Structure 1
């Protein structure tokens, strides 16, 4: 028991020290604490190192809460029957706590019933996890209607600017000339560095550590993949498909792997939040399910450092996909005869193109919008703004900073 207490004290002190020594910013999230106004479970999910535990601690700051990080090597191999020992140690150390914060608790098989019991005893619980399937087991059935899940991404562009301490001056919707210049310069940096907090705090090279941790801890170990180097190569190649369609059947032939293996590996990347996908929109549901999906990467830092690609048009499209996903939108694309629509979100059709002037916008972008019915039609450009023929042209930096205005 003394060893367990030592681990818990070390973890709590380390968490507190983070707020004393590191730069912490408010995240652009809804009021998540309202979901804990009564005994409930709030699951903060997302890619590893995106700031989930920091966000959770910010929610509980000022409260007396018990904290356990199950990614600690000293807790490796812990069994579900041992969780009550951790619970007892928390009460002995911190008294009668009302809140619990469990980091990466899905590392423990059978954790769902433990969390369910705590909630039934009137506790308010925050759990974090780097696997989207962590709520697909017993917790989803045992706590039907009694848990809320929220997906946290790496820093958005607005959060990136806040972290960098960039002050933006504007009157209503008009930015000062100097602010606009600074924003555009920082957008170039953001497209290269990405939004992982530790990359911005430590070094751009830290992106490789994050990628390796996700690949090995969140996919290889969970799926028990034996051909590790082949899988890593597969993951890198999928990232290189960003903003493009990917055919899993074609990949299986190229890699000489079974369709089942390729599908399992691909879903592993999705579940670990390395990639998100967009489904082809069609009037025939089966056709949409069997059509190739478009792939987007969770952070632009992976694109510049892992895929070694600086294609601005495709990176812009990837940024738009991430921004829409942050808003909770399900992504669809349209592929018709001789035209494509990058995003169809609810009743809005969105195209993305790297253009700084009217003459640089490819005709196919406008022609595609003219062939589809949508309440709003938007072309996101690099630096061109206008409105004509019911189509709004918006610079990407404005879209990223004021997305709600266009919805």
Structure 2
């Protein structure tokens, strides 16, 4: 038993050991701390290695800095091999009870459990402690699967949790870390690299490539193949490669099936659809459905898929042809999602609008392009927005050094200024 407490001490704030808190991600910690002080379970979801662990540690440190005793915080990262003994909710419950027995915290206890989905039946412990009115607990958990709060679990925790989706570093965070000047040059550097936090600790391209590949392999193997007993692992990876190399393109499941059949691969609509669903669940890619602007409804069939981080494209599949415009579009999508918008591909008669973004009462229509280099490009981007006959905000986003004047109520925004505009 004492060995388990010794293991926990390595990763907690109780002793004198120095912990790595990483780059301060105020965008997330500020939102989370707004909800501190109640029994709501704080849930962080997002792709593996997107920085959830650091954010949890940063929140724990903020609590201690604000006066909470270190021994009143408990941090458990199930991804550490030291904690492989935590297999079921019973193991988790025993460890929490052991912590309380050994450290004897007085008052409210703040429990942080990282990658909790690995623990079988974890929701039983979370539900029990969050609703324990004989003692005071506040729980913060993280997971790497979007389905961890679906179905019966959502019913079990209904109304008692608040979730935060964590993305890799944004462009704003990128310049904060690198101390580069905000502008076109640094935006292109960010676009040609990626935002996975640990990339910034690696200097050589080959090390970065190996790191990104390892993340991809871990997600596909541990979070999909093992979890769902996937039989055709090669097909799963090939579908992921296809989605990465067709990001920002309008595609359908039928088109993907035809593509593989053209390659001599036998597959089915159901298999491809299921495997894409698994990939989406791990946050590696995001599906963006079409939205009928006039009919005000989503459309089935074709959709676009965006990569959760451009590092997969840049370091693993850079040999495939890929225009800068598609990279910009992918980053614009991610920025909108970070800002809390629900995002769709706009459909209006024979025109396509890159994005329809909705958040509460705010609606944005956006076109994105690499550069407004000539009159033909300008007309193409602006005419799609001009065809919309309502009065919601309309924006063209590009990497031009100069901002174009407002045209018919349509604003031109430089990509590196978008985060400020949409927040």
TM (normalized to structure 2)? 0.85
Please list the CA deviations of residues 162-188 of structure 1 after superposition, one character each: whole Å capped at 9, or x if unmatched. 11134xxxxxxxxxxxx5xx5322112
| In structure 2, distance between residues paired with 1:360 and 1:385 | 17
Residue 54 to residue 108, structure 1, CA distance change in 2 (3 Å)? same
User: Could you tell me whether the CA contact under 8 Å between 1:12 and 1:67 is conserved in 2?
Assistant: yes
Does residue 329 in structure 1 map to residue 341 in structure 2?
yes
2:73 to 60, 65, 78: 65
Shift, 1:318, TM fit:
0.4
Aligned residues of 1:28 and 1:159 also touching (Cα < 8 A): no
- 2:263 match: none
Give the SS at the match of 2:26.
coil
Map 1:339-378 → 2, pairs under 5 A = 339-346=351-358, 347-357=363-373, 359=375, 361-374=377-390, 375-378=392-395
Cα distance in 2, alignment partners of residues 114 and 271 from structure 1: 23
Q: Retained in 2: the 8 A contact 1:112–1:138?
A: no
Question: How far, CA to CA, are the matches of 1:200 and 1:6 in structure 2?
Answer: 31
| Aligned-partner Cα distance in 2 for 1:357–1:9 | 58
Cα distance change of structure 1 residues 366 and 34 upon mapping to structure 2, 3 Å threshold? closer
Deviates more, 1:210-219 or 1:186-195: 210-219
Residue 26 (structure 1) aligns with: 25
Q: 1:38, 1:337 → 2: CA distance? A: 48
Give 1:236-385 correspondences, 5 Å limit.
236-255=241-260, 256-282=266-292, 288-308=298-318, 310-346=322-358, 347-357=363-373, 359=375, 361-374=377-390, 375-383=392-400, 384-385=402-403
| Alpha-carbon shift at residue 352 of structure 1 (Å) | 0.8
Identify the range of structure 1 (332-341 vs 318-327) with the bigger mean alpha-carbon deviation.
332-341
Quickly say closer, same or farther: Cα 1:284–1:366, change in 2 above 3 A: closer
Q: Is the 2:89–2:124 Cα contact (8 Å) retained in structure 1?
A: no
User: Which segment is superposed worse, 89-98 or 294-303?
Assistant: 89-98
**Counterpart contact for 1:156–1:323, Cα < 8 Å:** yes
Structure-1 separation of matches of 2:253 and 2:329: 22
SS at match of 1:12: coil
Distance 1:17 1:139 in 2: 37
Q: 2:410 matched to which residue of 1?
A: 391
1:226 to 1:285, Cα distance in 2 relative to 1, 3 A: farther
Out of 292-301 and 353-362, give the one that drifted further. 353-362
CA RMSD of aligned residues (A): 2.6
Deviation (angstroms), 1:266: 0.6
In 1, distance between residues paired with 2:16 and 2:175?
A: 25
Q: Deviations over 1:213-250 (max 9, x none)?
A: 22222222222212222211221111111111121122
Give the unaligned 5+ runs of structure 2. 261-265
CA spacing shift, 1:93–1:358, aligned 2, 3 Å: farther
Contact 1:331 1:345 in 2 (8 A): yes
Determine helix, strand or coil for the equivalent of 2:397: strand
Match of 2:191 in 1: 191
User: Counterparts of 2:374 and 2:414 in 1: how far apart (Å)?
Assistant: 12
Normalised to the residue count of structure 1, the TM-score between the two structures is: 0.88
How many residues align structurally? 389
Alpha-carbon deviation of 1:198?
A: 0.3
**Runs of at least 5 residues in structure 1 that lack an aligned partner in the other structure:** 167-178
Q: CA deviation at 1:15?
A: 11
* C-alpha displacement of 1:276: 1.1
The 3 A distance-change label for structure 1 pair 40 and 336 is closer
**Deviations 1:263-316 (Å, cap 9, x if unpaired)?**
111111111011112111127999844221111111121221233155210000
| 1:311/1:357 CA distance change after superposition, 3 Å | closer
Equivalent-residue separation in structure 2 for 1:344 and 1:338 (angstroms): 16
Of 128-137 and 287-296, the range deviating more from structure 2 = 287-296
